[in-house]
C-alpha cells in the first residue's frame, strides 16, 4: 500500500512534470521458508495476485495465496 500511495503522490506532484497521471497495480506474496517450498512457488503466487489486481481495475494491489505444504515426517 505504501508503494501505491508513493506513486500516486509523485503523479500528483508538479515537481515531477509527468505528462499524465500514473497508477500502479501490484501482486504481493510471502511465505515462510520450509522444506518443499521454492522461489518458483512464490513467484507464481505473486504473478496470480498481480493478474487479479489488474482484473480489479487500476491503482490497486492484491495478496497472493500460497497453499500449505505438508511437513515431511
3-state secondary structure 13-71: CHHHCCCCCCCCCEEECCCCCCCCCCHHHHHHHHHHHHHHHHHHCCCCEEECCCCCCCC
pTM, entire model = 0.74
Pairing type for strands 61-63 and 26-28 reads parallel
pLDDT tens track for 20-56: 888 899 999 998 888 888 899 999 999 999 999 999 9
d(CA 10, CA 38): 35
In the structure grid, which three cell numbers stand for residue 10, read together? Answer: 509523485
d(CA 55, CA 62): 10
The pLDDT of residue 68 is: 57
The pLDDT of residue 70 is: 45
Amino acid at each position: 500500500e505504501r508503494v501505491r500511495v508513493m506513486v500516486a503522490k509523485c503523479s500528483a506532484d508538479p515537481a515531477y512534470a509527468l505528462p499524465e497521471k500514473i497508477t500502479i497495480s501490484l501482486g504481493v506474496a510471502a511465505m515462510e521458508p520450509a522444506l518443499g517450498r521454492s522461489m518458483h512457488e512464490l513467484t507464481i503466487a505473486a504473478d496470480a495476485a498481480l493478474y487479479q489486481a489488474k482484473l480489479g481495475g487500476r491503482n490497486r494491489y492484491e495478496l497472493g495465496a500460497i497453499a500449505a505444504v505438508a511437513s515431511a515426517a
